Amino acid sequence: MFNKKLLPVLITIALVAGFAGGVFYSRPKLADEVIVQKLINQDTGKIQNVDFSEFWKVWKLLEEKYVDQGKLDTQQMVYGAIQGMVNAIGDPYTMFFEPDTSKKFQEEIAGAFGGVGMELGFKNDTLTVIAPIKDTPAFKAGIKSGDRIVKIDGNSTAGMTVDEAVSKIRGKPGTKVTLTIAPPANGTIRDITLTREIIKVPAVDWKIIEHDGKNTAYIQIYTFSQNVDSDFKKASDEILKSNTDSIILDLRNNPGGLLDSAINLAGYFVDKGQLVVSEVFGDGTKNDFKADGASQLAKYPILVLVNGGSASASEILAGALHDNKQIHLIGEKTFGKGSVQQLEELAGGASLKITVAKWYTPAGINISVAGINPDIKVELSDKDKESLIIGDPTKDPQLQKALDILN
């Protein structure tokens, strides 16, 4: 299941909660025996020049003096210690999962589950909606990219990790969850009650838009899931048979997904052998990923739509097209996630997702901090956002701008 690299950015509630803002590598289960046994049997002293004596002193004091001895759970104490060690790194995308959370994480990567249909991340240390997923409860309720989630069922999200938020929002289909939502800027804070559903995420949709006597193939990529390769090939085959004059590739509100798919899709637009993305690890090791397609769609004039919900694999594809083919990006600055995570399975069902590398566009730009700025900025006003229907030129100013430029 985990033989592919995943990108995401970002937690997807009811989609891909493991896509927390980066590329994922998966590994076979470690050969380690039970973590607790290894840790408890470790004597005090120094390991790799780290003094663990204070740790063990606290452990022994708790065992000897804590008033409710019967409530001490050594397994949970170990998990808590590991969680504290991971949190001390200060990287919100390096995470330790206890067995129950680890199981949910892997289920989410694998397929459909009960949720409300949106991706979450952090913006300015605030739990933020990266993008709602089309035709899900969150989407239908009007939740927008950039909305801040300040409470979940009345509980403040301050200090809450993304995974804790995901676990609280997910649940059995048919049950309800109430989110307290604050807009990106000043505005009315409101409660929205959503009914959880089984969420199945579309990958690709496309249609012909006629504008000023020209036919533009408008392609929306919702996520880089396992279905995107086959769905995009089907769309490409149909476009090549149609009377298409140009292409608009819409990556708005696309949180990412499979790295292999982003590279594969780049091959429809850039020449074989051209660099798509580079990964740089902590020791300086660099892996270059190059296009291996037939550049079937490169003959068409192309524009790419992006916004603050475009993250991870979306940014890789947008960066590859921009840097290699000078294809213009239109819309708003992307989210900015360029880290690579590796998922390690631990004994007892726990797992560790650890940031191991950063990725760079062909021009050598790491977009983790600033995101990718569009060549042509088209910001949406509050009024635009209220009436926005993505894919409808009469109610989508960014799409309308792209059509005007192409035609």
323 is annotated as an active-site residue: yes
Distance separating alpha carbons of residues 183 and 186, to the nearest angstrom: 7
Q: Which of the residues 147, 250, 260, 323 is marked catalytic?
A: 323
**Residue 118 DSSP code:** E
Query: Is 337 an active-site residue?
Result: yes
Which among 144, 333, 337, 353 is annotated as catalytic? 337
How far apart (Å, rounded) are the C-alpha atoms in residues 66 and 215?
A: 74
Distances (CA, A) of 151 to 123, 178, 191: 16, 8, 9
Residues 46-69 as b or e (16 or more Cβ within 10 Å = b): eeeeeeeeeeeeebeeeeeeeeee
Q: How far apart are CA 25 and CA 342, in angstroms?
A: 4
Which among 315, 200, 199, 333 has a CA at the least distance from the CA of 257?
A: 315
Residue among 144, 146, 137 nearest 178 (CA): 137
As a whole number of angstroms, the distance between CA 395 and CA 374 comes to: 20
Identified catalytic residue from 167, 246, 312, 339: 312
Active site residues: 312, 323, 337
